Structures are given as C-alpha cells and as structure tokens.
Amino acid sequence: MTDLADTTAVGAHPGAATHDHTHVTATGISNEKVAMWAFLGSECLLFGGLISTFLLYKDRAADGPVPHELYDIAFTSISSFVLLMSSLTMVLAVSAISRGDDRALRAWLLVTALLGSIFISGQVYEFKEFLNEGLGFTTSPAGSAFFTLTGFHGVHVTIGIVMLISAALLSRSGRITQRNAEAVEIVGLYWHFVDVVWILIFTVVYLIK
C-alpha cells in the first residue's frame, strides 16, 4: 500500500497534451478514467458469477440438449473475430480524435458500432438456432445459464453500440472535440472490456468441452 501512497501523492501530469480540460487531480489521472476502471473491476465479479453459474450447470439439462451439442464453432469463431476487430477500429477512433481528426473519429466509431451490430445479429441467429433445436431459456439449468451469460454479454454490447453512436452524434454537434478526446477513450475502455469478456466466454464456454 505504501507504493500506492507514493504514486498517488501530488499531481503527476494529467495524461497527454490533448487533455487540457483535465484539472489536476491527486493521482494525475482524470476522475472519469479512475471511475471507469473501478467500474470495470467491479464488472469482473458480475461476469465471474455468471460464468461460474454456467460452468456449474453446463451439463445439467435433464432430457433436453446441452449447449455443447449445439455449438457451431466455425460460426462463433467468425463472430468472435468480428468483435475482436471492432476493438481495433475502436482504438483507431481514439487515435483519430487525439490527432483532432473529427471525420475519421466518426467513421471509426460507426465502423465499430457496425461490427458490434454484426456480432449481435450473429448472436440473435445463434439463439434462434438453439431454440429450434430444443434448447430454450426455460428448458433446463444449462439452457438458463447459457442464455443468461451470453445474453448479459449481448446487452453489454448493445449498450456499447448505443454509446458509440451517441459519441459519433456528439462529435457531429461539436460536443466531442480534441479537447475532450478522453470521453472517446473512456467509451473505448468499456468497449474493449466487452471484447475481453467475450475472449473469456469464447474459450471457456465454447472451446473447452
């Protein structure tokens, strides 16, 4: 703890030169960034609970099918890849605004949102397939756990898409500029987090049998 006391003593520099709106804080990090990371730390416990629930229940399906019999790994690999690439486009959006390139910012934000939407469409398609094959939300503990975990993640992605589009609109109306580029960075943190959660889910839920 003492080393924490050291790094957080008196005003280090508040990030990059673009943050001229940022007031000096005791740690040198903006409040928004500290808050977002604290929130993401908290989200780990939420998703951890849902992943554990799934692991515990994944084979408890009474007479119905278990999720493992229904996975289409090729399909999910592609949608995972799409989500992974959306992290790249998100980084490029942050990079664009830190250069002050508003048009590129909006372009990359919308591409990111589009990739996210493709992922969500894939999830909707997958859910439909599972329903057709007899695994529903209410069929069994395994079904409930699978749909809850992936559904929670899907809701997070959807909220992220709304945030991305909102950020693009705010940029258009001149409310997000190079001055407050950090707003985009923080939306990006949320988006990347949703991506890393899927990295966990893809391996733990889909690939490990």
Partner 1 sequence: MTDATTTDVAITGDHDHEHSHGLDDKGYVKIALWLALITGAEVAWSYLPVWEDASGLTSFAEVAGLLVMMAIKFAVVAGFFMHLRFDNKLLTRLFYSGLVLAVVVYVIVLTTFEFWSS
Partner 2 sequence: MSLADGPLALGSGGELTTRPMGVFARPGEAKGWRSWVTTVDHKRIGIMYGAAALVFFVIGGIEAMLIRLQLATPDGKLLSADLYNQVYTMHGTTMIFLVIMPLGAAFMNYLMPLQIGARDVAFPRLNALSFWVFLAGGLVLNSAWLLGGGADGGWFNYAPNNGVRFSPTHGIDFWNLGLLIAGIASLVGAVNLITTVLNMRAPGMTLMKMPVFTWMSLVVQFLLLFAVPVLTAAQFLLMFDRLFDAQFFNTQMGADPLLWEHLFWIFGHPEVYILILPTFGIVSEVIPVFARKPIFGYPFMVFSGIAIGFMGWGVWAHHMFASGVGPISVAAFSISTMFIAVPTGVKVLNWMATMWGGKLTFDAPMLYSIGLVTMFTIGGLSGVTHALAPADTQQTDTYYIVAHFHYVMFGGGLNGFIAGWYFWWPKVFGYRLGERLGKINFWILLVGFNLTFGPMHILGLQGMPRRTYTYRDGYGFNFWNFVSTVGTFIIATSMLIFFANIFLSYRKAKKEQLSVPADPWDARSLEWMVPSPTPAHNFDVIPTVSHLDEFWHRKYGEDEEGRLVRIAATEDVVQKGDGRGVHLPSPSYWPIVMAFGMPWIAYGLIYNLWFCVLGGICVVAAIYGWIMEPATDPDAGHDDHPADHDEPSDASGEAVATEEAALVD
Q: Of the candidates 37, 118, 107, 34, which has an alpha carbon nearest to the alpha carbon of residue 76?
A: 118
Which of the stretches 33-41, 111-119, 154-162, 164-172 binds partner 1 when contact is defined by CB under 8 A? Answer: 33-41
> Under a CB-based contact definition with an 8 Å cutoff, are residues 80 and 198 in contact?
yes
Selected from 13, 20, 38, 121, the binder of partner 2 by CB under 8 A is 38
Overall residue count recorded for the chain in this entry: 209
The residue type at 200: L
Of residues 168, 190, 165, the one with CA closest to residue 35 = 190
Q: How many CB atoms within 10 Å of residue 156?
A: 19
Other Cβ atoms less than 10 A from the Cβ of 105: the count is 27
> Among candidates 11, 74, 4, 50, which has minimal Cα distance to 146?
50
Residue 32 interacting with partner 2 (CB under 8 A): yes
CB-nearer residue toward partner 1: 137 or 206: 206
Query: Residue 184 corresponds to which tokens in the numbers above?
Result: 């985009």
Q: Which stretch binds partner 2 (CB under 8 A): 56-64, 70-78, 83-91, 127-135?
A: 56-64
Q: Given candidates 15, 25, 158, 179, which one binds partner 2 under the rule CB under 8 A? A: 25
Rounded Cα–Cα distance for residues 26 and 125 (Å)? 48
In terms of Cα–Cα distance, which of 117, 122, 128 is closest to 157?
Answer: 117
- Interface with partner 1 by CB under 8 A: which range of 114-122, 144-152, 166-174, 199-207? 199-207
Q: Tell me, what amino acid is at 120?
A: I
Closer to partner 2 by Cβ: residue 103 or 175: 175
Task: Identify the helix (H) or strand (E) that includes residue 200.
Answer: helix 181-201
| Residues of span 158-187 touching partner 2 by CB under 8 A | 166, 170, 175, 180
- Residues near partner 1 (CB under 8 A): 2, 4-10, 12-13, 15-16, 27-29, 33-34, 37-38, 40-45, 47-49, 51-52, 55-56, 73, 77, 80-81, 84-85, 87-88, 90-92, 95, 98, 185, 188-189, 192-193, 195-196, 199-200, 202-204, 207-208
- Residues near partner 2 (CB under 8 A): 1-2, 4-5, 8-11, 22-27, 29-32, 34-35, 38-39, 41-43, 45-46, 49-50, 53, 56-57, 60-62, 137-141, 143-145, 148, 152, 166, 170, 175, 180
